[in-house]
Amino acid sequence: MIIITVLGVAFLLLSIGVVLFNQLRKANIRVDEAFAQIDVQLKRRADLIPNLIETVKGYAAHEKTTLEQVTEARTSTMKATTFDEKMSSDNMLTGALRGLLAVSENYPDLKASANFLQLQEELSTTENKIAFSRQYYNDAVLLLNTKIKTIPSSFFAGVAGVKERVFYVTDDASRTRPDVKF
Amino acid sequence: MEFRSEIASNQRKSIFLLFSLFLLLIGIIYLVGLYLGVSSYTILPFALLFSIITTISSYWSSDKLVLMITKARVITEDEGGPLYNIVSEMAIAAGIPMPKVAIVEDSAPNAFATGRDPDHAIIAFTTGILAKMDREQLQGVAAHEMSHIKNRDTLVATVAAVTAGAIALIADLISRVFLYTGGTKNSKGNPFAMVALVIVIFLAPIGAILLRSSISRKREALADSSAVAITRNPTGLRRALETLRDDSTVVQAKSNAVAHLWVESPIDKRNSRWHPFDTHPPIQDRIDKLQAME
């Protein structure tokens, strides 16, 4: 009778352990997926830029410096390898693009062209997608870090080989800090 | 209230209500057993099975069925456009696969989402809502609909429908037994208690409907707070609900089968104070809750 109880309890504990282990692993994979998603959106934006630059050049050739800033920023995003490099070069490109779009306000012909309007919508939705994929990444990191730090899943974090991850931080005016409420 | 605690509270309440519905089913079975004898417990698996069979096909093909009922037109990825972009932004923020996007020809502003799981989901907007709302409002509505998919509300509604269906079936069977046997079937025990038992069995289906409506309202409130979690912008949905509140037109496809799917209920009575059968919380309450989050 005692043996059965002990075996039963041991089985229960083992099952709980397996569940928590898997939850940690899944949360970690989600973070990787979310980060890859950010890259997908960033690449989409990078691909839109040459077209944008050509369209703007057609109407606003004197805005050389602004156009060059955008091209430079784009090149640096394509050369970035580490997480920090990616974050900072991406922020630079966001800023440079904003500058270019602001400058386009001064050219009514450019603003009215169908090509430019479609590009604007594409760029706008891509910027939104970048922002939301960062937000989702931060949500995934929050979930993982919370699991790693709270009982009982914290007991299995070492066994599962998962470590806390870093939040994606933007340095533009509209950034939101994820508020950690336990 | 902050959106995360709203979400947790709505989840708890809807689970509690679903559980109550199951308890009602178990309770009914027990009472039937008392009235007819313990062997009638075998009713339960058959009642559930029948209820599941009649409900499963509409659950499984809910995306295709609803497309047919509302005559919605699917937008392809190639077509794209601002609406498609809004929905794909929300899919990324919610972390679910991109659902099908469709448009329903109807001047009344409304939107719905359905599908057996996030991989087979569809979101539709009426031409009316596209005409009356700006990008921020549509983003809020899309986020609300996306939340229904993410929170698997079609599944929740189906489980509730199956349970309520089984309850109605059993109550129906008992009422037939009672009528045919003239109420003298079980003469052991207190006759008044037997009568009370039978009255409760008759009332059970009404209780089931009330519970189902309550569950629907909680899931709608959950979809509102989940939408805020997705957009981090309560203003969009709040302004959208205000526009819906001030508009008095109602969608054509408002049969009871699909009423609960729309973002604004086409069948709830607007100005009454008595809400137990409503599928959605009162719209002003929803607006106030969102305002409190801004």
| Test mutation, B1, B92, B150, B233, chain A, max A CBs within 10 A | B92
Structure tokens at A130: 């970048």
B73 touching A (Cβ < 8 Å): no
Phi/psi of residue B282, nearest 5 degrees: -55, 140
User: Letter for the amino acid at B58?
Assistant: S
A143: closest CA among A22, A23, A27? A27
B145: closest CA among B206, B79, B66, B198? B66
Q: Where are the domains of chain A?
A: 27-160
The alpha-carbon gap from A121 to the nearest alpha carbon of chain B, in Å, equals 8
Summarised one tens digit per residue, pLDDT across range B202-215 is 788 888 999 988 99
Summarised one tens digit per residue, pLDDT across range B136-171 is 999 999 999 999 999 988 888 888 888 888 888 888
Q: Where are the domains of chain B?
A: 3-293
Q: How far is CA A179 from CA A14, A142, A167, B2, in A?
A: 34, 9, 12, 11
Looking only at the bridges linking them, the beta strands covering B73-75 and B121-126 are unpaired
Q: Which chain B residues are within 8 Å of A132, Cβ to Cβ?
A: 89-90, 92-93
The alpha-carbon gap from B95 to the nearest alpha carbon of chain A, in Å, equals 7
ipTM for the whole complex: 0.79
Q: Which regions in chain B score pLDDT beneath 70?
A: 1, 37-40, 181-190, 192-193, 251-261, 267-274
From the list B2, B89, B105, B145, the catalytic residue is B145
Burial of A15 (0-12, 13-18, 19+ CB in 10 A): exposed
| Test mutation, B89, B147, B231, chain A, max A CBs within 10 A | B89
Q: pTM (2 decimals)?
A: 0.83
Please give the mean pLDDT across all residues of chain A: 83
Residue A70's pLDDT is: 85
The alpha-carbon gap from B236 to the nearest alpha carbon of chain A, in Å, equals 15
Task: List the single residue in A with minimal CA-CA distance to B4.
Answer: A181
Task: List the single residue in B with minimal CA-CA distance to A131.
Answer: B93
Phi/psi of residue B123, nearest 5 degrees: -120, 135
Residue B58's pLDDT is: 77
Q: Which chain A residues are within 8 Å of B82, Cβ to Cβ?
A: 121, 125
Q: Chains A, B: CB contacts under 8 A, how many?
A: 33
Summarised one tens digit per residue, pLDDT across range A116-152 is 888 888 888 988 999 999 999 999 999 999 999 998 8
d(CA B142, CA B91): 9
The alpha-carbon gap from A114 to the nearest alpha carbon of chain B, in Å, equals 14
Residue A180's pLDDT is: 30
Residue A60's pLDDT is: 73
Out of B2, B85, B94, closest to residue A125 by CB: B85
Instruction: List, edge to edge, every strand of the sheet that includes B73-75.
Output: B73-75, B100-104, B121-126, B111-115
Residue B40's pLDDT is: 64
Out of B85, B88, B232, closest to residue A135 by CB: B232
Q: Which residues is B236 bridged to in the sheet? A: none
* H or E, element range at A12: helix A2-59
For chain B, helix (H) and strand (E) counts, in that order, are 11, 4
Residue A37, pLDDT above cutoff 80: yes
Task: List the single residue in B with minimal CA-CA distance to A34.
Answer: B95
Assign B262 to helix, strand or coil. Answer: strand
B191 touching A (Cβ < 8 Å): no
Neighbours of A118 (CB within 10 A): 13
Q: What is the maximum alpha-carbon separation in chain B? A: 72
Residues 6+ apart with CB under 8 A from A138: A167, A168, A178
Out of A121, A125, A136, closest to residue B93 by CB: A136
Q: Is B77 a catalytic residue?
A: no
Structure tokens at B270: 């607007």
Residue A182's pLDDT is: 31
Q: Interhelix angle for B135-150 vs B82-94, to 10°?
A: 40
B2 touching A (Cβ < 8 Å): yes
Summarised one tens digit per residue, pLDDT across range A74-94 is 888 888 888 788 888 888 888
In which residue are the tokens 């929170």 written?
Answer: B151
Assign B122 to helix, strand or coil. Answer: strand
